[in-house]
Structure 1
Amino acid sequence: MTIALRYSHITVNDVDESLAFYRDALGLEARNDVSSGGFRWVTLGSPAQPDLEIVLSEPHAGRSEADGDALQELLTKGVLSNIVFSTDDVDATFEQVRASGAEVLQEPIDQPWGPRDCAFRDPSGNMVRIQGAKS
């Protein structure tokens, strides 16, 4: 038996704004754009991981009103789980993402536990960390 991660969901306020960030600033490729019931789900991925996709959707997409409201509140507070990407060049990736106008939370530093990393907020306030090997 084998098991592998296939999808990871990121809740966002505006799918188009977030698509621009994850596609244009981070360099992910858009793979699917599905509409249903007035909502959209957009999937993105990296050519380096063809079987893994990130799904962008709004808080109320596919959820009850109460669940969507609760998720929206958590998103607004900025307390949803973060996402961590890896790269072969943290500093170059940092400059590319910063040039997009993304909010910088942490410039590249060598962490005591191992990786060199940096952090941003996506347009919806989700924390996005980018890590690589120490320089």
Structure 2
Amino acid sequence: MNFTSIRVITGDVARLVGFYERATGVRADWSTDDFAEIRTASATLAVAGDRTVPLFAPGSARPADNHSVIIEFLVDDVDRVYRDLSDAVTDFVQTPTTMPWGNRSLLLRDPDGNLVNFFTPVTPAAVARFAR
């Protein structure tokens, strides 16, 4: 089995995709006006409009209502990401901080309020965990 993607349901696909394109530096691949994907080497962040929900199960997902999932991105320099997004993000939950497990982490909310963690391994043990 391979984990392939996380899909975020939103009321404003273009706004959310624009945020993630800026945050990741990856251009989205658009399938329709209601569906786009940000593809990285290891996983895909899919963004879908709320009009797609009834195709699966009406009422099964609601935009901007996540309180349990954190979307995480491994980056080369979390401090640079913080600087690059400082004028675009209004809700930094935690500025870059070195965590006890060895990652330097930036936690923020995307335009829909979803938690997003950008992190860089900084201790030898953390670097070894993410070596590819």
Question: Which range, TM-score by smaller chain?
Answer: 0.7 to 0.9
Q: Does 1:91 align with 2:79?
A: yes
Given the two structures, how large is their TM-score scaled by the length of structure 1?
A: 0.77
Q: CA shift at 1:12, angstroms?
A: 2.2
- Partners of 1:32 and 1:44 within 8 A in 2: no
CA 1:81–1:59 in structure 2 vs 1: closer, same or farther (change >3 Å)?
Answer: farther
Match of 1:115 in 2: 103
Corresponding letter in the other structure for 1:97? L
Match of 1:41 in 2: 35
The count of aligned residue pairs is 121
- Partners of 1:21 and 1:122 within 8 A in 2: yes
Counterparts of 2:122 and 2:87, CA distance in 1: 23
Q: 1:40-59 maps to which residues of 2 (within 5 A)?
A: 40-46=34-40, 49=41, 52-59=43-50
Counterparts of 1:63 and 1:80, CA distance in 2: 21
Q: CA shift at 1:8, angstroms?
A: 2.0
- Partners of 1:25 and 1:100 within 8 A in 2: no
Q: SS in structure 2 opposite 1:95?
A: helix
Q: SS in structure 2 opposite 1:128?
A: strand
Corresponding letter in the other structure for 2:9? T
Q: SS in structure 2 opposite 1:113?
A: coil
- Structure 1 gap segments, 5+ residues each: none
Given the two structures, how large is their TM-score scaled by the length of structure 2?
A: 0.78
Q: 1:60-79 maps to which residues of 2 (within 5 A)?
A: 60-61=51-52, 62-67=55-60, 71-72=61-62, 75-76=64-65, 78-79=66-67
Q: SS in structure 2 opposite 1:83?
A: strand
Counterparts of 1:53 and 1:127, CA distance in 2: 16
Q: SS in structure 2 opposite 1:101?
A: coil
Q: CA shift at 1:9, angstroms?
A: 1.2
The worse-fitting range, judged by mean Cα deviation, of 16-25 and 55-64 is 55-64
CA 1:58–1:80 in structure 2 vs 1: closer, same or farther (change >3 Å)?
Answer: farther
Q: CA shift at 1:94, angstroms?
A: 1.2
Q: Does 1:15 align with 2:13?
A: yes
Corresponding letter in the other structure for 2:59? A
